[in-house]
Every structure is written in C-alpha cells, then in structure tokens.
Structure 1
C-alpha cells in the first residue's frame, strides 16, 4: 500500500509539473486541486465497495473495480472540460471520447477476466469434488500462471491424499493378516486344551505354542505403537555423545547367538578414532538391531554380515551389508515402508515388515537419512548420524 501511495504522489507531482511547464502556475494549481479531489472521491468509493465485497463473486468484484476506474476517469474528464476549456464543443467532445474509452475498457476487462473466473471456478469445483471423496478428479486451469500453479498444487494434494488413503487401507489389511494367523492358531490351541484330550506332555507343547503366538502379537503391537509415535513426532529423547565403535561392538555381540543359529558370521569393521556422534544410544542400537536382523535373515548359510562405518564432514555413515540374494529392483523404492517385505523374505512370510520402517523413522528423528546403496552382491543398507559438536 505504501508503494501505491508513493506512485500516486509521484504521478501527481509529474502532472502538476508538466502543466506548470506548458501553461501557467495558476493552471498547475487548478490541475493539482482537481486531481486531489478526484483522487479522494475515487478512494472513498473504493473503500465503500471493499466493505460490501464480502460474499460477492469474483466476477462482480472485478466488474465493480473496473467500473469505478471508468467513472473516475469520466468525472475527471468532465471536471477538466468544465474548468479548463471555454468551448462547449470541446467539452462535449472530450466527455464523449472519455465515456466511449471507459465503456470499451469495461468490456475489454470483462473479456480478459472471463478465463480467470472460469479457472477459479474450476479449482473450486475440483476441491469440492475431492472433499466429497472423489480421488480421480483432475483440475485444469489454462489462464494465469498463478492459477495454473494453484491447480497443479491441488492435483498434487489429491494424489497425495489418494496415496495416503491407499497406504492406510494396505496397513489395515496387513495388520489384519498378521494378527489373523496367530489368532487362528491360538484358537486351535485353546480348543484343544478346552477339550481335555491332550496328554500332560502335549499340554506343555501346546502352551509353548500359545506363548509363542502371544509374544508375536505383543511384538507386532509394540512395533506398531512405536512406529506411530515416531511418525507423529511424539517421542522425546535425550541425545548424548555416542561412541559408535563401542555401540556397534555391543550390538554385534548381542546378535551373535542369533547369527550362529543360522549359521552366519558377523564382522565389524569400525575404524579406530571415529568421531563421536550425537544420538540416543538405545534408539541407535535399535536401528542396528533391525538392520542386522534383516541382514542375517537374508544371508545364506555360512554367509557373512559386515558392519562398517565411514566419517564425513558433518556426519558418520554406518553400513550393514549381507551376501544374500539382494533386493529386487521393483522393491527397492518401498523397502522402508511399513509392512513391505522384499524378495524371498516376503515369500517365506518372515516378520511383519516393520523393522526398516522403524529404523527409518529413528534415523530421520536424529536428522539423518537411511538408504539402499548399490551392491554387486547382496544388500547394503546405509544410514547417517550427525557428528557431535562441542
């Protein structure tokens, strides 16, 4: 608004100066007074129109704005004709020419704003359709660049909303599937125990199966709860300086029994003198546990899982590599999504597919990133953690 006022003041000075230069100071003073009067009149009319624009259509608001400009121009022409000219013929001519130019300007403005109004209505109708549940709506705008960008943003929002709803349906289906299997087995075990047809040694076996299914369901629910809190950023952790060499060593040692049972060998290649990182040690160890567990599952018998680290300028990159079959190309883009199981692991039904999703959420909460690195053999998963400063 201040820039507009400055421009008007400058235009007023230029107009008065030109009249003074080509005519007289008296004519310049009269011109300045008339311009101020017309300006005040136009400003007041614009304020009244603005106060009454609530609920008015865009088409009507544009028409009123152009009409005010036309009327202002006609009033100014009439005043100058009445005051500055002595010939009635000249006064009538200037008013008629100004009126014609004003009407022509109004019609031209309506023609040029018709596409604008049409695009605004198209965006409105598209958003109403999306709000009503339609997800295949595509909004098209052919007018101004701003409305084209608005339509593209609305289309992107619709696509993201459709994807989120699809992910939610897939999530519900995956949870239902992963809960249905242990629940069915638990029902069979309970029925067998309830019929009292089992021998004492068989009862112990069935109770062991029941406990196993309960533990699986408990683990799934705990993982879901943790993932939901991580993605909602509802977690508060204490961050501290962490020695990665020591943390990796403790994690590898804890995973050795699991690796030996496969059997798979775990090798740690953490260089000496690695800088400290700023992280929550328990959560960072959870990432390592999840990656090592996945690597061990994917590795063939007698295979090797390697944990390595590399220091960069602002972070440390940790890598967990295995010698398995690798991740199929079609699955590489989605392996960090919840309930996604890639390759032969999905075929064998191992796990619920939450480990990598939880690992990604934890790494991102540490302001790091996790990704699938290129590998000639097996799978290489890497993640970064910021260095500790100070």
Structure 2
C-alpha cells in the first residue's frame, strides 16, 4: 500500500510540473490560433504522462527495461495524439474562417448564409445566431429604407402644400395692399381660411414630431366610448353635410376605457375626416364600438371603394396619401400616421382592411381596469 501511494505521489508531481509548464505556454500563446492551442493541450497531456513515468523511474520503482517500454508507448501515443490534434485544429480553424467570411456580408448589406459542411455544436449554434441576426438586420434595413422614402415624400408634399396657399396669400395680400381687390371682404375671409389650414398643418407636424420623439405626454382618464364617439360625430357633422355624406353611429356600446380624452378625440376625428373626404356624395360613414375578448374595438367604415392591396401596408405611413396627385385639401398625409402613433402610445393597435364598397379602419384599445 505504501509503495502504491509513493508511486501515485511521484506520478502526480511529475504530471503537475508538466501541467504548470503547459499552463504557462497557453497563457503566452492565448492570442494564437485554436489549432496551436489544441496541439499544446495534447502535448501537455502526453508530457504529463511521460513526466510522471520518469519521476517514478527516478525513484527506482521501474526497471530499465520497463522504463524503455513505457517511454516507447508514450512516444507512440504522443505522435498519434499530436497528429489528431493538428488535424482537428486545422478543421476547426477552416470552419471558423469560412464563418468569418460569411459574416462579412453584414457590412456589405447582404444576407448571411451559413457555410456548407459539418461543424461543431458551438460553431453551428453561432451560425444559427448569425442567421437570425442577419434576418433582423435585413428587416431593419427595409424599415429604414421605407422611413427614408416616407421622409422624402413628406418633405416633397409638405413643400407643395405649403407653397400653394402661401402663393395665394401673397397674391391676395398684394391685391389688398394695392387696392385692386374687387371684394376685400371675400379676400380677407379667404386669407383667414388659408391661415387656418396652414395652422392645422403645422399643428399636425408638431404632433407627429412629438410622437416620433417619444415626447407625447398622455393624461389617461376613465371615459365612456359612447361619449367619445358622440363628441367626434358632432365635430365631424358639418364636414359630412358639406360633402353630402351620412354619419351613422348607432352601434356604440358604453364601454369604459382608460385613455387621454383629447388625444383619442383627435384619433376619432382624423378617422372620420379621412372617411368623409373619400366617400362619395350620398355615401355613408359608420362608426361602431364594441367590447372584444382582448379589449375594445373602435371601427370607422367608409365608402371609398377600397384600397389597393399593395397599398394597405402603407396606409399609416407618414406622408402617404394614396396618389401623387392629391390636392392640398386632402391633407399632407399626416392624419393616419398621427392616429397610429396615438393609438400605439395607448398600448393599442390601428389596422385597416377592405370591405365590399369601401374599407374599415379599426382601433383596438385595452379596457379600463375595474
């Protein structure tokens, strides 16, 4: 028993010395290739075995013949182990380089494609993560392109919509100043109308900038949808009469909601104005409100004839107005973008879908807590 303990002690001391030396080498080459690390680790394992054997032999626990046999066995194991480590290291390094080359496509705006062939579990997991990241980056790039396109369209349309009334205001003010206006009162009334429209446009831009900046401060209160819808219908009634459109709001449930009354009134007003302007004379615009399993559903249905399917995803984009030939009274394409921003600030969602003869805008809101 004592001899066995001594052999174990000497073998441990020899192997420990080799391990400490190997750890020092690994620290020195910690920035080198994985193949070099695998080779060093294999060499440490073989050297530890050989060092332990030599330590035991030095203590005269092995005969000279036994020492030669063990040394030869260790040497052959070292050759095979080192060759295996080198081959494994080269394969892992090659796979790593292929993965690095595939990942460079991120910087070029391309998509990541995992290299062909087998890989270790860690490299396979890394490839999957890179593929997921690539898909997310592609979605981000697409959103960025869409936002940039919306910004350019918005600037172009706002510039056009501002230039037209400003030119009219300048002409009317010059006519009044020169005293050549045939009907000064009519000119003054028209100037006031144009100023009100410009003020509305600037207000929409300010509201949209607050939404995009995350600075929209809400003051939620418990209100009834019945009251909100009633106020919105009363506000939109003059415009509906002017366009010859019937307003219907007989399917409104008195469901309580926790919302900012002022901002939600703006949402309903924008939806009703949008529906009235796009519904032909003698048409109908209907608003409804009902309780659904996941909250409250507000809907505004018009008779616009429907929206092309390819345009449906863009309806709530900033600056979208359906065509490039809208007249200024159609607005600057901000109303529906404001609707979506306010609704999402209330933890809700705004959607649109086509129905026979028109389209239906839907706003889903959470119900008020009891």
| Superposition TM-score tier, normalisation by shorter sequence | 0.7 to 0.9
Q: Which segment drifts farther, 41-50 or 66-75?
A: 41-50
The alpha-carbon distance between structure 1 residues 202 and 38, as it changes in their structure 2 partners (threshold 3 A), is farther
Aligned mates of 1:189, 1:291 — CA distance in 2 = 29
**TM-aligned CA deviation for residue 47 of structure 1:** 4.8
Alignment of 1:260-339 (within 5 A): 260-272=241-253, 274-339=254-319
Corresponding position of 2:59: none
- CA distance in structure 2 between the partners assigned to 1:205 and 1:168 by the alignment: 41
Instruction: Give 3-state SS (helix, strand or coil) of 2:218's partner.
Output: coil
1:219 aligns with 2:200: yes
1:89 aligns with 2:89: no
* Greater mean deviation of Cα atoms: 241-250 or 209-218: 209-218
1:126 to 95, 105, 110: 105
One of 62, 66, 71 as aligned partner of 2:38: 66
Matched, 1:243 2:224: yes
> Does structure 2 conserve the Cα–Cα contact (< 8 Å) formed by 1:73 and 1:102?
no
Please provide the CA RMSD for this pair.
3.1
How far 1:353 moved relative to its partner? 1.4
Q: Secondary structure at 2:352's aligned position in 1?
A: strand
What TM-score does the superposition give when structure 1 sets the normalisation length?
0.78
Shift of residue 190 of structure 1?
Answer: 2.3
Q: Secondary structure at the match of 2:358?
A: coil
Change (3 A) 1:217 1:39: farther
The answer for unaligned runs of 5 or more in structure 1 is 1-19, 54-59, 130-134
Cα distance in 1 for partners of 2:221, 2:8 equals 76
Q: CA deviation at 1:285?
A: 0.9
Could you tell me whether the CA contact under 8 Å between 1:315 and 1:384 is conserved in 2? yes
CA distance in 1, matches of 2:159, 2:189: 18
Answer yes or no: is the 8 Å Cα contact 1:74–1:102 preserved in 2. Answer: no
Q: Using the TM superposition, name which of 235-244 and 197-206 deviates more.
A: 197-206
Change (3 A) 1:62 1:289: same
Post-superposition Cα deviations, 1:207-265, rounded to whole Å, max 9, x if no partner, equal: 54444444333322321221232133222212121111111111111211111111111
Q: 1:223 and 1:193 mapped to 2: Cα distance? A: 26
Deviates more, 1:91-100 or 1:31-40: 31-40
Q: Is the 8 A contact 2:240 2:276 kept in 1?
A: yes
How far apart, CA to CA, are the structure 1 residues paired with 2:257 and 2:115? 52
Taking structure 1 as reference, are residues 333 and 296 closer, same or farther at Cα in structure 2, changes over 3 Å only?
same
Contact 1:70/1:106 (<8 A) preserved = no
| CA distance in structure 1 between the partners assigned to 2:43 and 2:132 by the alignment | 38
Q: How does 1:1-390 map to 2 (within 5 A)?
A: 24=4, 27-28=7-8, 41-43=21-23, 45-47=25-27, 49-50=29-30, 53=31, 60-83=32-55, 86-123=66-103, 125-129=104-108, 135=109, 137-142=110-115, 144-145=123-124, 146-154=126-134, 156-187=136-167, 189-190=169-170, 193-194=173-174, 199-272=180-253, 274-342=254-322, 347=326, 350-390=330-370
Q: Is the 8 A contact 1:323 1:379 kept in 2?
A: yes
Distance 2:307 2:96 in 1: 50
User: In the TM superposition, what whole-angstrom CA distance separates every residue of 1:14-52 from its partner, at most 9, and x where no partner exists?
Assistant: xxxxxx9xx9555555555556555555555545555xx
Cα distance, 1:149 vs. partner?
A: 3.3
Query: Do the aligned residues in 2 keep the contact of 1:120 with 1:147 (CA within 8 Å)?
Result: no
Count of paired positions: 352
Q: Distance in 1 between matches of 2:102 and 2:367?
A: 50
